[in-house]
Amino acid sequence: MTERDADPPLRLEPADAANDGGAVRRESDPAAQAKVSPMIAQYRDIKAANPGSLLFYRMGDFYELFFEDAEIAAKALGIVLTKRGKHQGDDIPMCGVPVERAQDYLHRLIGLGHRVAVCEQVEDPAEARKRGGKSVVRREVTRLVTPGTITEDSLLEPARANRLLAIARAAQSEGASTYGLAALDISTGEFTVSEASEAALEAEIARIEPAEIVAPDALMDAPGFTRACAAVRAPLTPLGRQSGEGASAERRIREYFGLATLDGLGGLSRAEIAAAAAALFYIDRTQFSARPALGLPTRLGRDAHMAIDAATRVNLELTRTLSGARAGSLIDAIDRTVTAAGGRLLAERLAAPLTGVADIARRQDAIAFFIDEAALRRAARTTLKAAPDLTRALSRLALDRGGPRDLAAVRDGLIAAAALGGALGRASEPPEELRAAGAAAGGVDAAVAARLGEALADSLPLQRRDGGFVRPGFDAGLDESRALRDETRTVVAALQARYCELAETRQLKLKHNNFLGYFLEVPQAQGEKLLRAPFDATFIHRQTMAGAMRFSTADLAELEVRISSAADEALGREQAIFAELAGLVLAREADIRRTAEALATIDVAAGLAELAADADWTRPEVDASLAFAIEAGRHPVVEAALRREGQAFVANDCALSGVTGKGGRIAIVTGPNMAGKSTYLRQNALIAVLAQMGSFVPARRAHIGVVDRLFSRVGAADDLARGRSTFMVEMVETAAILNSAREKSLVILDEIGRGTATFDGLSIAWAVMEHLHEKNRSRALFATHFHELTQLAKRLDRIDNLTVRVTDWNGDVVFLHEIIAGAADQSYGVQVAKLAGLPAPVVARAKHLLAEFEAADRLSRSDRLVADLPLFSAPNAADRVSDPAAPSAPAQARDPLGEALDAIDPDELSPRRAMEELYRLKRIRAGQD
């Protein structure tokens, strides 16, 4: 518990309560703590009112944590755990973080999924002292910091939305639950609602990628709900009863947005209303009086997006790699945006590919435009680079958490937007998406940016409370108080020189703190001298420190008043100007928000155009058919990785096009390890995702009928963390596919059935293929090491065999990564083992054994046996496929010749009997017997 990090925060001993904020912090008297001290009593009241949160309890320049919180935080942050007095006879564990570094520590605690209640002193310690020596400074929690409700740039990832997700369940009808989902990002104001069935809930949560999930207590023991939440990594916070349903939920939404009715929001369902209200309830609870500027809830149409479940997202590494990093993911490979908001919009589009053909075409048009208009694209990107994160700055200003740099961000964002709006306005015939964005970009009154430009100084402090951000000359009153304040500063310098003379020492310093005001500090030895005549007439002793003494004088006290009033006046004036400027900005909030969205849209279109032009991507043809025809497709991430090593990627075609009503085609891909099977499977799934997010795709040509659901699974993915066996995971995931894939879906199965014994695995894989072909009828790619499965192509008309070309070169296998029609003839496992550096004798022995096993296999198990496996002859007739087109099971033929042969025991036969038997067998063979 006493782990230290490399840089443990500075620790001072705690002051006792009445001295909060004072310069002197001394050890409290343990005896006085025998009973519950007033401070600990206050602490415990506040803690009880904020269950489930770590309490950051403000004491002077520190936030202190006590009891269990201290233990948790000390461990999580690697800071020193100390103790403070006693509570009911036991030491009270304590640790603390300095206020000026609190953000860092908050960041780490939030990252670990904790929630933090920030408790501030809400009165001057002097006020508390007036109430008597034992009084405690009044404190209140002013904010709950939770993973889903943060706004600080230092706590947020620039290119990632930070969403709070509230989930509610509608009253169940006939046992089927419908869930409402409300996702909101208070750092940007984004607020969307949607609805999902229980089966689709997990995929919907995975699309939203929440930082935190909240839901009514009642859902906490609904298995379907908790299972879906477990699939994402976000912490789950239960809400009390008060979150609201029905009429009270509706009222909460109306009141937040000042609406007379919810009718304008596009007919929200009961579940959606309950979820939106729960989200707003939680915002109230965490933000207290502050009110984030949220957009009106936007309803996402059902089936408007390609459904991609959590396992598929992980498996395809859309926004993170399997190890959780962004580098190496698809988003990393395609992100050429130059603004944080553009990065967020791109991620949002990638997470939710569209299903509407016209919407997809609209996005493609914008990219095509920017490919043709290369000069305009470059100019736009240069302008965008200068545009800061408008939305997040705006949100902080609305929460009254903004600083001078947020005002500057609005100024610079609006200037960039005006320039972009102008440039697009001059372009000839921009497509719809860009025309609208251009108009919105220039849509904010130019006076706002102009006023901010006049008011803000060239270099800006981080904090509003420090002042110094208003440009000299902007406000006459401010300039006057500043002059006065600065003049007194020169007075201070002169005074210090004068007191040095009076005290006959050069070691005297004129200093200031909140407790003493202005004072003089001298080393101990000099101090002793000043206590005596004649110096004691001028110097009044105030404090003795270790090695130093502090004095004041009558003049200094007067100076204190003069200086602080001038400085206070200047600061007060600046705060007023800040409030006026923030008010000016917030009055245009809706316009500015639209402008920010427009900038992000332009950034995404220009970025994807840049990518398409650079990496030679093409515009896919997307329609409502069952087409899936890719010519010379590539895997964008693998291709980029190979290019960095100076190697070329081998492009491959993929033809899965089917006919509506009959179903898509299934390709079974066999071939040695390391040949490129998995890469091929994934690249085709990624091309579908890219096409439907409205991007161009890495292929020479692509024609894709809209995919409604995408499934991608890899066999043998260990999931020890969730305590399920590999095989169980595989089967659960496969079951999900077989139960929900449809004709318009795309299914990618990579080595399913690996997690169990060969025959089990083969049988399951076989049956899965049959089901996909006959029932789901999805377009599918299936990579397998079971060569036997290639026999399926002979029996099922929409199954094709593909393999990867390899050549044997002097006994070594050479991978050509080229996908061709046909089945792999051998697995090359031994050759691959040799490539991997297995000792030569082991390789030679393995080769020998393989030859023997293969010979034995041909005699016993044999491909013939597998090829004869009857289709759909499972004993359970209810499961039998009734489709008359389905191949029927061949009748098990009788074999009289074999039976006769089996009946003969050669050892028992006389030569004459043997001859007779031989003639009899010939007759049976000729069918005469």
Cβ distance to ligand ADP smaller for residue 29 or 616: 616
* Residue 450 CB-half CA count within 13 A: 4
Residue nearest to ligand ADP (CB): 676
Cβ distance to ligand ADP smaller for residue 460 or 654: 654
Q: Assess contact for 551 and 542: CB atoms under 8 A.
A: yes
Alpha helix stretches (DSSP H) within 671-723: 677-692
Cβ distance to Mg ion smaller for residue 329 or 678: 678
The amino acid at residue 339 is T
Of residues 114, 320, 392, 677, which one binds ligand ADP by CB under 6 A? Answer: 677
Of residues 391, 679, 745, 784, which one binds ligand ADP by CB under 6 A? Answer: 679
Cβ distance to Mg ion smaller for residue 19 or 678: 678
Q: Give the number of other CB atoms < 10 A from CB of residue 553.
A: 18
- 333: exposed, middle or buried (C-beta count within 10 Å: 0-12, 13-18, 19+)? buried
Cβ distance to ligand ADP smaller for residue 681 or 871: 681
What is the side-by-side order of every strand in the sheet holding 212-216? 236-239, 212-216, 164-169, 178-185, 190-197, 298-299
Which of ligand ADP, Mg ion, none does 421 bind, CB closer than 5 to 8 A by kind?
Answer: none
Among the candidate windows 57-65, 267-275, 437-445, 644-652, which touches ligand ADP by CB under 6 A? 644-652
Residues from 530 through 559 that contact ligand ADP (CB under 6 A): none
Of residues 14, 148, 664, 676, which one binds ligand ADP by CB under 6 A? Answer: 676
Which of ligand ADP, Mg ion, none does 712 bind, CB closer than 5 to 8 A by kind?
Answer: none
Which of ligand ADP, Mg ion, none does 675 bind, CB closer than 5 to 8 A by kind?
Answer: ligand ADP
What is the side-by-side order of every strand in the sheet holding 701-705? 621-623, 701-705, 628-633, 652-655
Q: Assess contact for 624 and 743: CB atoms under 8 A.
A: no
Spatial distance between the Cα atoms of 688 and 261, rounded to a whole number of angstroms: 40
Binding residue count for Mg ion, defined by CB under 5 A: 1
Distance of closest approach, residue 729 Cβ to Mg ion, in angstroms? 17
Distance of closest approach, residue 827 Cβ to Mg ion, in angstroms? 13
Angle CA 21–23–28, to nearest 5: 80
Angular region, 517: left φ>0, alpha ψ -120 to 50, beta rest: left
Q: Give the number of other CB atoms < 10 A from CB of residue 25.
A: 17
**DSSP secondary-structure letter at 243?**
G
Q: How far apart, in Å, are the Cα atoms of 260 and each of 256, 354, 528? A: 11, 33, 75
The answer to whether the peptide bond before residue 534 is cis (omega within 30 degrees of 0) is yes
Among the candidate windows 479-487, 529-537, 669-677, 853-861, which touches ligand ADP by CB under 6 A? 669-677
Residues from 423 through 452 that contact ligand ADP (CB under 6 A): none
User: Residue 684: helix, strand or coil by DSSP?
Assistant: helix
784 is an interface residue for ligand ADP by CB under 6 A:
no
- How far from chain centre, in Å, is Cα 608? 21
Q: Assess contact for 635 and 649: CB atoms under 8 A.
A: yes
781 is an interface residue for ligand ADP by CB under 6 A:
no
Cβ distance to ligand ADP smaller for residue 367 or 781: 781
Residue nearest to Mg ion (CB): 678
Distance of closest approach, residue 751 Cβ to ligand ADP, in angstroms? 8
Residue length of the chain: 929
Q: Assess contact for 452 and 408: CB atoms under 8 A.
A: yes
β-strand pairing of 62-66 with 90-98: antiparallel
The owner of tokens 């075609």 is 653
Q: How far is the first Cα of the chain from the last one, in angstroms, to the nearest whole number?
A: 91
Cβ distance to ligand ADP smaller for residue 536 or 812: 812
Cβ distance to ligand ADP smaller for residue 325 or 856: 325
Residues from 659 through 688 that contact Mg ion (CB under 5 A): 678
Q: Assess contact for 235 and 110: CB atoms under 8 A.
A: no
Q: Give the number of other CB atoms < 10 A from CB of residue 474.
A: 14
Distance of closest approach, residue 785 Cβ to Mg ion, in angstroms? 9
β-strand pairing of 298-299 with 190-197: parallel
**DSSP secondary-structure letter at 663?**
B
Of residues 674, 738, 904, 924, which one binds ligand ADP by CB under 6 A? Answer: 674
Distance of closest approach, residue 617 Cβ to Mg ion, in angstroms? 25
Structure tokens at 193: 């609602």
Of residues 42, 162, 391, 678, which one binds ligand ADP by CB under 6 A? Answer: 678
Cβ distance to ligand ADP smaller for residue 163 or 634: 634
Distance of closest approach, residue 72 Cβ to ligand ADP, in angstroms? 42
Which of ligand ADP, Mg ion, none does 817 bind, CB closer than 5 to 8 A by kind?
Answer: ligand ADP
Cβ distance to ligand ADP smaller for residue 188 or 673: 673
Distance of closest approach, residue 813 Cβ to ligand ADP, in angstroms? 12
Distance of closest approach, residue 623 Cβ to ligand ADP, in angstroms? 27
Cβ distance to ligand ADP smaller for residue 328 or 443: 328
* Residue 695 CB-half CA count within 13 A: 35
Among the candidate windows 447-455, 674-682, 688-696, 841-849, which touches ligand ADP by CB under 6 A? 674-682
Which of ligand ADP, Mg ion, none does 649 bind, CB closer than 5 to 8 A by kind?
Answer: ligand ADP
Which of Mg ion, ligand ADP, none does 143 bind, CB closer than 5 to 8 A by kind?
Answer: none
Q: How far apart, in Å, are the Cα atoms of 291 and each of 189, 398, 655? A: 11, 7, 53
Of residues 638, 731, 747, 792, which one binds ligand ADP by CB under 6 A? Answer: 638
Cβ-proximal residues to 348 (8 Å cutoff; 6+ apart), any chain? 161
Which of Mg ion, ligand ADP, none does 519 bind, CB closer than 5 to 8 A by kind?
Answer: none
* Residue 266 CB-half CA count within 13 A: 11
253 is an interface residue for ligand ADP by CB under 6 A:
no
Residues from 500 through 519 that contact Mg ion (CB under 5 A): none
Which of Mg ion, ligand ADP, none does 823 bind, CB closer than 5 to 8 A by kind?
Answer: none
Of residues 396, 594, 817, 834, which one binds ligand ADP by CB under 6 A? Answer: 817
Among the candidate windows 49-57, 290-298, 676-684, 892-900, which touches ligand ADP by CB under 6 A? 676-684
Cβ distance to ligand ADP smaller for residue 229 or 675: 675
Distance of closest approach, residue 804 Cβ to Mg ion, in angstroms? 11
User: Residue 842: helix, strand or coil by DSSP?
Assistant: helix
Which of Mg ion, ligand ADP, none does 650 bind, CB closer than 5 to 8 A by kind?
Answer: ligand ADP
Spatial distance between the Cα atoms of 300 and 304, rounded to a whole number of angstroms: 7
* Residue 249 CB-half CA count within 13 A: 24
Which of Mg ion, ligand ADP, none does 485 bind, CB closer than 5 to 8 A by kind?
Answer: none
Structure tokens at 98: 């300095």
Distance of closest approach, residue 677 Cβ to ligand ADP, in angstroms? 3
Of residues 59, 280, 566, 650, which one binds ligand ADP by CB under 6 A? Answer: 650
Distance of closest approach, residue 679 Cβ to ligand ADP, in angstroms? 3
Give the relative orientation of helices 404-426 and 432-441 as an angle to the nearest 10 degrees. 130
Which of ligand ADP, Mg ion, none does 676 bind, CB closer than 5 to 8 A by kind?
Answer: ligand ADP
Q: How far apart, in Å, are the Cα atoms of 281 and each of 47, 65, 215, 322, 852? A: 20, 27, 11, 35, 71
Alpha helix stretches (DSSP H) within 796-910: 829-835, 840-859, 862-867, 896-903
149 is an interface residue for ligand ADP by CB under 6 A:
no
Cβ distance to ligand ADP smaller for residue 28 or 712: 712
Interface residues with Mg ion (CB under 5 A) are 678
Interface residues with ligand ADP (CB under 6 A) are 638, 642, 649-650, 652, 671, 673-679, 817
